[in-house]
Amino acid sequence: MHPMNRREAVKTTGVLLGGVLITSAGVLTACTSEAPRAGSRVLSAADQSLIEEIADTLLPTSPTSPGAKAAGVGPIINLLLTDCREPDEQRRVVDGLKQFRDTVGDHFASMSQSDRENWLRRIDAEAKRDGGKHYFPLVRELSLQAYFSSEIGMTKALRYILVPGRWVGCVPLAPGQPAWA
């Protein structure tokens, strides 16, 4: 191995640092090119409130766990829809909520639980007839994701152990026992 002179060391260091700067500038530009404006969300406040009422009808308060509204799923659903879904899915949900208002009316939140459930059953049957392009399955999926990723969903609706012990592959569940988080 021969000793390196100062000129070679400076030239090698310059090439190395230049490559790092060019690469990092490209990566930083790529990360910020499609960033949404701060505070911009897909759902309006009225739509967020309506979707939270729908989620609370799907996941109501029970004797063992609070419902979706208590978990505050409205803002979470709005965030999931804005940041994690494609624009066509976002439009489908927004248009679907408008269609929901046109069909059910603005008094969904003031209906009894059984009337709300009956409306959602009708819409679910319609979604099954229409196939995969209906908005309701996506609303239901977002509701479940938001609820079961919330603190209430993970600790009250599911069994939660912060630090589990040993792994046991098959554990029988007793009737009425919640699943594990």
Per-domain residue ranges for the chain? 45-157
Report the predicted TM-score, pTM, of the whole model to 2 decimal places: 0.72
* 16 vs 49: CA distance, rounded Å: 54
Report percent pLDDT > 90 for the chain.
Answer: 59
The residue to which tokens 């899915």 are assigned: 89
Nearest CA among 67, 48, 45 for reference residue 56: 67
Is the per-residue pLDDT at 133 higher than 60?
A: yes
**Cα atoms in the 13 Å half-sphere on the side-chain side of 6:** 0
Give backbone dihedrals phi and psi of 180, rounded to 5 degrees, phi first.
-90, 145
The confidence score (pLDDT) of residue 35 equals: 47
Q: pLDDT band for position 96 (50/70/90)?
A: very high
Q: What is the DSSP string of the chain?
A: -PPPPHHHHHHHHHHHHHHHHHHHHHHHHHHHTTPPPTT--SS-HHHHHHHHHHHHHHS---SSS--HHHHTHHHHHHHHHHHHS-HHHHHHHHHHHHHHHHHH-TTGGGS-HHHHHHHHHHHHHHHHHH-TT-SHHHHHHHHHHHHHTSHHIIIIISB--SS--S--S--PPPTTPPPB-
pLDDT tens per residue, range 14-56: 777 777 777 766 555 545 445 455 568 999 999 999 999 999 9
What the block records as the tokens of 21 is 């700067």
Mean pLDDT computed over every residue of the chain? 86
